[in-house]
Structure 1
């Protein structure tokens, strides 16, 4: 055992919060004793908590306790040591003094802090866009939300599954707004609608949840609806190439979803984070997030939701050039699609999913694996099926063009890419633009051919200059 290590702690090496570790060692206070005394002091001050040894371990690993808990920890250790200690001397940061872009990466134990963070993030997003537009995607910050979500999942296995259908009143109003935003997003792209989603979420829905007095069932439904809106804010930010913002909104969405208890929606939020990770060059994280999503939704009665999660795992495996694993995940997705009894029997959060969606995702997998014939078949099916969804049309046409190019069918590749370019008219979707840029980059070895030069010239107004 290392010097200073506590029996049964299971930790090796220096803790992330060395200041707290030093104070614990000096005081002789065990993990269990500290947790018990913090709970006891909190109850005397009107704050109920159930901290235990695992909670102290999380604090030592760098976790920030909720609410006024840092003050309670400081009070307990001050009493044991016989001298005053401030939370900052124990490695704790006053949460609301941290920049919102940092706080929004955290999955907070205290949902009140989550609501405060979302309100501030939305306000800053709307009024001071230049501060947030370039915030980075932080792959390492995905680890803690995954762990905390899995802990919630284990601890709430027996929680009753609530219907996600609106029961009227405020819940029905929020669901109506969600439907409207969803329709606009599908038709015009996320860039056109994201500001409206953020404004409604932060100025209308978050204040509803900060009020007290709603019946528990209604409150949980409102949390679920707010989680859906936060996820939509993340997805539309992603569609607008604001990847760091997308990660932050989706992380907060996951925390709200735990409060609502909707496992289907939780799986879909994890699917969005998986998609984001894989497309930003972190396919290992994409696969892990999809696996957590499958664990979340496997007993939630949603084959379509599981279909999407298996498709996301396939995307990650394809990006990692793992054809066997990608094929296995695609077969699992197809099996779930066949198991579904139709969209009307599914949660409203997944009714947009169908075999055409799977065809589009499979086409991307086959493209990345270099299986041009299969990519062509799947992308062509997606193009035929999604005439009213211009973003999906543009992406699938770009993938189809790449499949033609991989088969050395240049005329068809350029013609299909030109159709994708036409489809982008009136669609504010950076994802669609990036898909077509990917195709254009594959034309570099053939830049000497006239039709390639013509396409590059024509595409500049939408795609910018070729590198």
Structure 2
């Protein structure tokens, strides 16, 4: 059987398939959402492109879905995400009449902050094993903005119901022997590899270690309350690392799911500092994927989490995430207020040794780099240039941060109509990516390249676009 998709004939058996009748569930959801065929197709294309998919659906595509055609790839999940946004509740493909392939139910469960931690551990193991061993079954996993509400609400309810005496305080020594020390050693090793080679190069190792080694430790009985808390906090940190490395590898939907499960483990670890940092990661993800409104809300939840923890560096990062979200929303006053609050927390810190181990990597260079992104997004080119230049000098040994800061610096040059400097700086960023597996760095450079679109007739720009194709792909 042959269908026509985006104007081209295509066999239904090679990507889309006919389910045998009209899709009444999808029709009902469209009607309830008040969503036109054209607006659904447009938003599916937009959300898909944010996550690396290149689709060109239109009204005719939606008509075929309503007639019973099963969209290809992860499109059913994207459709569910779009309609979930409109309706203000989480939807699954099955809710919309799209049958799930074997192995995919865990994709839905991993978006939920569960009450039962034993189920969370089971979800992590299933997600990790499917992620590593059965990628063809797991397929592309979409980022679902509407699913960010459940973990925020559940975490904040836990936060108000937990007494201060039950939470971890810092500085607190980690157990100096046994499994906790071993897990911390592995975390330090993964951090080092991630900083030098990017998350894409270490992601599989983190997921394997988490699901095969650490989760079984968390399932054991007989540990002391303190050791149990420390193990769960370490497990939460590893799950968050799996999320960050997935983010860095361009696996945005997996990043969301690992971070959501990390937040649930963190509650068992009673660690508010780490909880704030996981919320910071989700905020960064949401803002970068075109949902700065959610990014701002997540940063706000993180600030509420970490406010009384005695960790100024943790709060500094959360205020920086708030600033990023407000800058992306075009709010200069709120951005400035958040950056001032971040600077105040940085000044209040008594040094890394007096902070939680989860935030000791944060310093004024980190805040410079985040500030540069905010200034870029607000069009404050001179300020972006100054702070990005300082970040480039400070991160000579971190090629991922180098590439991102150089991309921001290149945009600042471009915003000041200094094309030669902009292209030269972007070329240095391109060179810095050699041997680094980081989709975040690549996206930063793609953002710069997209800003060159109006000047493509100039030889310098054509030369850069040609040179960048091997790393960044063909320009749109």
Using structure 1 for the length normalisation, give the TM-score: 0.79
Q: Which residue of 2 aligns with 1:91?
A: none
Deviation at 1:159, TM superposition (A): 3.1
Query: Pick from 148, 151, 160: which aligns with 1:154?
Result: 160
Q: Which residue of 1 aligns with 2:140?
A: 134
Q: Which residue of 2 aligns with 1:442?
A: 451
Distance 1:321 1:342 in 2: 33
1:429 and 2:429 are equivalent in the alignment: no
Q: Which residue of 2 aligns with 1:119?
A: 125
Distance 1:234 1:97, change over 3 A: closer
1:230 and 2:239 are equivalent in the alignment: yes
Distance 1:194 1:97, change over 3 A: closer
Gaps of 5+ in 2: 1-87, 91-101
1:280 and 2:289 are equivalent in the alignment: yes
Please tell me whether the aligned partners of residues 397 and 419 of structure 1 are also in contact (alpha carbons under 8 angstroms).
yes
Please tell me whether the aligned partners of residues 297 and 306 of structure 1 are also in contact (alpha carbons under 8 angstroms).
yes
Please tell me whether the aligned partners of residues 104 and 251 of structure 1 are also in contact (alpha carbons under 8 angstroms).
yes
Distance 2:161 2:297 in 1: 20
Please tell me whether the aligned partners of residues 206 and 242 of structure 2 are also in contact (alpha carbons under 8 angstroms).
yes
Please tell me whether the aligned partners of residues 104 and 137 of structure 2 are also in contact (alpha carbons under 8 angstroms).
no
4+ residue stretches of structure 1 with deviation over 6 A? Answer: none
Query: Pick from 130, 143, 148: which aligns with 2:149?
Result: 143
Query: Pick from 374, 377, 389: which aligns with 1:365?
Result: 374
Please tell me whether the aligned partners of residues 165 and 348 of structure 1 are also in contact (alpha carbons under 8 angstroms).
no
Q: Show CA shifts across 1:260-319 (max 9, x none).
A: 000000000000000000000000000000000000001001000000000000000000
SS for the counterpart of 1:360 is helix
Distance 2:467 2:352 in 1: 41
Equivalence map 1:7-18=2 (5 Å)? none
Q: Which residue of 2 aligns with 1:410?
A: 419
Distance 2:135 2:181 in 1: 30
1:351 and 2:360 are equivalent in the alignment: yes
SS for the counterpart of 2:358 is helix
Deviation at 1:98, TM superposition (A): 8.1
Q: Which residue of 1 aligns with 2:202?
A: 193
The alignment of Structure 1 onto Structure 2 pairs a total of residues equal to 375
Query: Pick from 186, 189, 212: which aligns with 1:203?
Result: 212
Q: CA RMSD in A?
A: 1.6
Deviation at 1:161, TM superposition (A): 3.1
Distance 1:161 1:252 in 2: 19
Q: Which residue of 2 aligns with 1:106?
A: 112
1:465 and 2:474 are equivalent in the alignment: yes
Distance 1:133 1:178, change over 3 A: farther
Distance 2:323 2:125 in 1: 35
Deviation at 1:229, TM superposition (A): 0.1
SS for the counterpart of 1:350 is coil
Please tell me whether the aligned partners of residues 133 and 245 of structure 1 are also in contact (alpha carbons under 8 angstroms).
no
Please tell me whether the aligned partners of residues 200 and 249 of structure 2 are also in contact (alpha carbons under 8 angstroms).
yes
1:169 and 2:178 are equivalent in the alignment: yes
SS for the counterpart of 1:348 is coil
Please tell me whether the aligned partners of residues 103 and 137 of structure 2 are also in contact (alpha carbons under 8 angstroms).
no
Distance 2:329 2:453 in 1: 24
Using structure 2 for the length normalisation, give the TM-score: 0.77
Q: Show CA shifts across 1:220-248 (max 9, x none).
A: 11000000000000000000010000000
Distance 1:390 1:466 in 2: 23
Gaps of 5+ in 1: 1-60, 64-95
Distance 1:214 1:383 in 2: 46
Distance 1:396 1:97, change over 3 A: closer
Please tell me whether the aligned partners of residues 132 and 245 of structure 1 are also in contact (alpha carbons under 8 angstroms).
no
Distance 1:427 1:435, change over 3 A: same
Q: Which has the larger radius of gyration?
A: 1
Please tell me whether the aligned partners of residues 198 and 245 of structure 2 are also in contact (alpha carbons under 8 angstroms).
yes
